[in-house]
């Protein structure tokens, strides 16, 4: 009987401690693809009984159980002019785009924290057991974790760049670890390792000397009692990474870095009737052209648009284009326009031949998930790296934006449509993506609850976090080894020389004496 009560009590304890945690999610980016990542995980946590609050620009139309929103009204409209100019990013350099991202990130952090709805929320008396932060040039949000004295989980929208790794001291040697800004053709040759090392040191210094101090300043503006950001930055419990071994390189992960790439893909829903009929009736197949949710293809320069249309008009396949306007000048008869598409569900249709994409990680993941080859036209951020990797793995062709011409695109289209290697390779990658012991979403939920259950799971912290950089690189040890080897050697050589010289001088003295 006592045993039974014990079991019941501990069962109830488990239910209470994990089943009804209070979780705050901060997914402030006015970019739907970024929000989608948080939304998928947070709604699942809510469905499993947790009380979830999320700070977001995307208001829910209908109420969701256990799911409360603090809506950043006006944020989407405010960022739109910047998004309309995204194609200009193809002209950027690494340094320019680092600064561009950081400046944009800081502005978004500041406008989020100063938003009246967030201010009101901070003043009302809330408590949280966990904070889940979107990880994207927003380290000032670590202030939320301190404010609520709750463990911090971050969700990285991309295969982890070194600015994210640093907070948990994950091994990321530039000898073999590509960064978001690495040369897309990165390999382990001397030149590439040399350049990648320079880049790595550059980004780490940039983060340390430029980004963190600025983020710290913004954090203190809204969380005046927080310690220096350095203390909070290195106190992250867990990194959930929107990446998967089927699409990214094999690199080391500490136990508190968890790959969950593919988790955002939902079981395909029924398509709207017109779309379903259109796809079913395409006996030669359909090419899907979509530049994601941030880039709008209606902002493509006219000359690029014309080249694309000419290449499309030569196809016997149908083309479904996510186009954000009512009309498209010179629209060929085989091209169908749609302002919005349930992208993943469309890709899942068996008649889809290939996806033409900007190479965002969500689109790339969806293509691999459903086994559809890719033509990538990368524009900014990690897109070029994603497509270059896919091309290396033999299921994509990269068409650089600057070389986006009718001939270039036609060539890529005929190659991917007619050469069976692309489909075979992506099918294999797809199999790898699905070859997991548990579903990626369940994995994400498990580790999130794990952090709550173990009060921050600090046993997962790497000892490397307590080292300074020269200790981590063993420079002090190497220095001592050099001393141990070279000091005696030096003493011996010096002694030997002295001995020889003395002998010589004695000889000289004695010969001098003789002469006298
Ligand atoms: C680090 O996080 C833990 C919870 O995971 C918290 O108890 C601790 O106070 C945090 N440290 C700092 C300096 O905020």
Q: What is the mean pLDDT of residues 55-66?
A: 96
DSSP 8-state code for residue 129:
S
Are residues 170 and 255 located together in one domain of the fold?
yes
DSSP class of residue 437 equals: S
Asked whether residue 13 carries a pLDDT value surpassing 50, the answer given is no
> Domain check: are 333 and 201 in the same one?
no
Residue 505's pLDDT band, with cuts at 50, 70 and 90, is low
In this structure, are 475 and 462 located in the same domain?
Answer: no
Show Cβ contacts of residue 332 under 8 Å, excluding neighbours closer than 6 positions: 309, 312, 313
R_g (Cα) of the chain, nearest Å:
29
- In this structure, what token pair is assigned to residue 499? 């001995």
Tally of structural domains, the chain: 3
Please give the distance, rounded to the nearest whole angstrom, from the Cα atom of residue 457 to the centre of ligand 1. 11
Same domain, 134 and 253: yes
Q: Chain centroid to CA 113: how far?
A: 23
The answer to whether position 116 is within a domain reads yes
Beta-sheet strands, E only, within 229-339: 238-241, 257-259, 286-289, 318-322, 335-338
The pLDDT of residue 480: 96
Note the pLDDT of residue 511.
60
32/80 Cα distance (integer angstroms)? 12
Residues 151 and 296 in one domain: no
- Please give the C-alpha separations between residue 79 and each of 84, 85, 299, in angstroms, as whole numbers: 9, 11, 15
**pLDDT (tens digit per residue) in 243-292:** 999 999 889 999 999 999 999 999 999 999 999 999 999 999 999 999 98
- The atom of ligand 1 lying closest to the CA of 145 is 14
pLDDT at residue 7 greater than cutoff 70: no
* Ligand 1 within 6 A of CB of 279: no
The DSSP 8-state label assigned to residue 64 in this structure reads: B
Measured by CA distance, the residue closest to atom 8 of ligand 1 is 149
Q: Does ligand 1 have an atom closer than 6 angstroms to the CB of 146?
A: yes
Q: What is the DSSP string of 293-308?
A: TTS-GGGS-HHHHHHH
Range of the domain at 304: 273-434
Tens-digit pLDDT profile for residues 422-452: 999 999 999 999 999 999 999 999 999 999 9
Of 18 and 151, the one with more pLDDT: 151
Residue 10 above 60 pLDDT? Answer: no
Q: At what angle do helices 94-113 and 190-206 cross, to 10 degrees?
A: 30
Label residue 16 by pLDDT band (50, 70, 90): very low
Are both 256 and 373 inside the same structural domain? no
- Evaluate whether residue 4 is within a structural domain: no
| Residue 294 confidence (pLDDT) above 50 | yes
Please tell me the distance between residue 198's alpha carbon and the centre of ligand 1 in angstroms: 33
More confident of the two residues 92 and 23: 23
User: Once rounded to an integer, what is the mean pLDDT over residues 199-216?
Assistant: 93
Compute the half-sphere exposure of residue 351: CA atoms within 13 Å on the CB side of its CA: 16
Give the mean model confidence (pLDDT) for residues 468-481: 95
> Cα–Cα distance between 351 and 286 in angstroms, integer?
6
How many whole angstroms separate alpha carbon 399 and alpha carbon 13?
56
**Residue-wise pLDDT tens digits, 171-200:** 999 999 888 888 887 888 999 999 999 999
Of the candidate ranges 26-30, 134-138, 295-299, 357-361, the one whose mean pLDDT is the lowest: 295-299
Which of 389, 418, 434 is the endpoint of a domain?
A: 434
Is 516's pLDDT higher than 90? Answer: no
pLDDT of residue 156: 94
Cut 0.75: pTM above it: yes
pLDDT at 84: 79
- 396 or 509, which is more confident: 396
Convert the pLDDT of each residue in 84-122 to its tens digit.
Answer: 777 777 777 878 888 888 999 999 999 999 999 999 999
In sequence order, which ranges of 211-337 are alpha helices (DSSP H)? 212-222, 229-233, 273-280, 302-313
**What mean pLDDT is predicted for residues 42-57?**
97
Q: 167 CA distance to ligand 1 centroid (A)?
A: 14
* Longest CA pairwise span in the chain (Å): 121
Q: 458 CA to middle of ligand 1, Å? A: 9
Model confidence band, residue 81 (pLDDT cutoffs 50, 70, 90): confident
Residue 221 to residue 105: CA distance in whole angstroms: 16
Residue 7 lies in a domain: no
Two tokens at 435?
């070859």
Identify whether 13 is part of a domain.
no
Ligand 1 atom at minimum distance from 456 CA: 5
Residues 121, 184, single domain; the answer is: yes
CATH number at residue 208: 3.40.50.2000
CA of 471 to the centre of ligand 1 (A): 24
- How far does residue 152's CA lie from ligand 1's centre (Å)? 9
290 Rama sector, left if φ>0, alpha if ψ -120 to 50, beta otherwise:
beta
Let me know: does 62 contact 351? Beta carbons within 8 Å: no
- Span 472-484, average pLDDT: 96
Does residue 86 share a domain with residue 228? yes
Residue 14 lies in a domain: no
Distance, in Å, from the CA atom of 374 to the CA atom of 390, rounded to the nearest integer, reads: 8
477 and 460 in a common domain: no
CA-to-CA distance for 124 and 498, rounded, in angstroms? 81
Give yes or no: residues 455 and 397 share one domain.
no
Alpha carbon 204 to its chain centroid, in Å, reads 17
- Cβ-count burial of 411 within 10 angstroms (0-12 exposed, 13-18 middle, 19+ buried)? middle
**Same domain, yes or no: 330 and 447:** no
Mark whether 46 and 88 lie in a shared domain.
yes
pLDDT over 70 percentage in the chain:
93
- Residue closest via CA to ligand 1's atom 1 equals 235
Tokens of 503: 């002998």
Which three-class secondary structure state does DSSP give residue 50?
Answer: coil
Residue 142 placed within a domain? yes
Work out which ligand 1 atom sits closest to the CA atom of 451: 5
Q: Which class for 382: exposed (0-12), middle (13-18), buried (19 or more C-beta within 10 A)?
A: buried
The chain-wide mean pLDDT, for the chain, equals 91
Q: Does any domain span residue 364?
A: yes
- Cα 150 to Cα 461: distance, rounded to the nearest angstrom: 16
- The crossing angle, in degrees rounded to 10, of helices 116-123 and 94-113 is 60
Q: Is residue 11 part of a domain?
A: no
- The half-sphere exposure of 152 on its side-chain side, counting CA atoms within 13 A, is 26
Give residue 323's pLDDT.
92
């Amino acid at each position: 009987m006592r045993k039974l009560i014990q079991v019941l009590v501990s069962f109830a304890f488990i239910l209470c401690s994990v089943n009804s945690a209070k979780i705050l999610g901060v997914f402030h980016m006015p970019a739907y693809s970024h929000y989608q990542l948080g939304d998928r995980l947070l709604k699942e946590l809510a469905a499993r009984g947790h009380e979830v609050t999320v700070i977001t620009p995307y208001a829910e139309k209908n109420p969701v159980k256990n799911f409360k929103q603090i809506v950043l009204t006006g944020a989407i409209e405010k960022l739109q002019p910047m998004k309309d100019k995204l194609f200009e990013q193809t002209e950027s350099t690494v340094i320019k785009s680092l600064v561009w991202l950081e400046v944009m990130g800081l502005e978004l952090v500041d406008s989020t924290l100063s938003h009246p709805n967030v201010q009101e929320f901070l003043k009302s008396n809330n408590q949280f057991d966990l904070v889940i932060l979107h990880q994207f040039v927003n380290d000032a949000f670590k202030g939320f974790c301190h404010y609520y004295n709750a463990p911090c989980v971050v969700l990285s929208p991309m295969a982890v760049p070194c600015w994210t790794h640093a907070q948990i001291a994950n091994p990321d040697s530039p000898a073999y670890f590509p960064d978001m800004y690495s040369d897309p053709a990165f390999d382990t040759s001397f030149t590439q390792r040399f350049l990648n090392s320079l880049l790595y040191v550059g980004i780490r210094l940039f983060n340390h000397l430029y980004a963190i101090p600025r983020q710290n300043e913004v954090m203190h503006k809204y969380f005046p009692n927080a310690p220096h950001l350095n203390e909070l930055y290195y106190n992250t419990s867990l990194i959930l990474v929107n990446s998967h071994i089927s699409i990214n390189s094999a690199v080391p992960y500490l136990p508190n870095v968890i790959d969950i790439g593919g988790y955002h893909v939902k079981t395909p829903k029924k398509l709207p009737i017109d779309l379903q009929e259109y796809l079913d009736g395409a006996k030669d197949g359909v090419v899907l052209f979509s530049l994601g949710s941030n880039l709008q293809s209606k902002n493509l320069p006219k000359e690029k648009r014309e080249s694309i249309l000419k290449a499309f008009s030569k196809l016997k396949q149908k083309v479904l284009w996510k186009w954000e306007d009512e009309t498209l000048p010179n629209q060929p008869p085989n091209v169908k326009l749609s302002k919005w598409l349930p992208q993943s569900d469309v890709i899942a249709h068996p008649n889809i031949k290939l996806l033409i994409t900007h190479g965002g990680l969500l689109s790339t993941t969806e293509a691999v998930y459903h086994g559809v080859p890719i033509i990538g036209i990368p524009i900014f951020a990690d897109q070029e790296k994603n497509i270059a990797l896919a091309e290396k793995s033999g299921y994509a062709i990269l068409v650089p934006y600057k070389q986006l011409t009718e001939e270039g695109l036609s060539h890529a289209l005929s190659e991917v449509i007619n050469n069976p290697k692309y489909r075979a390779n992506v099918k294999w990658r797809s199999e790898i993506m699905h070859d997991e012991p548990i579903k990626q979403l369940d994995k994400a939920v498990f580790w999130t609850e794990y952090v709550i259950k173990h009060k921050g799971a600090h046993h997962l912290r790497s000892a490397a976090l307590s080292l300074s950089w020269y200790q981590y690189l063993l420079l002090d040890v190497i220095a001592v080894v050099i001393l141990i080897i070279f000091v005696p050697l030096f003493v011996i050589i010096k002694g030997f020389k002295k001995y020889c010289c003395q002998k010589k001088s004695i000889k000289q003295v004695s010969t001098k004496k003789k002469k006298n």
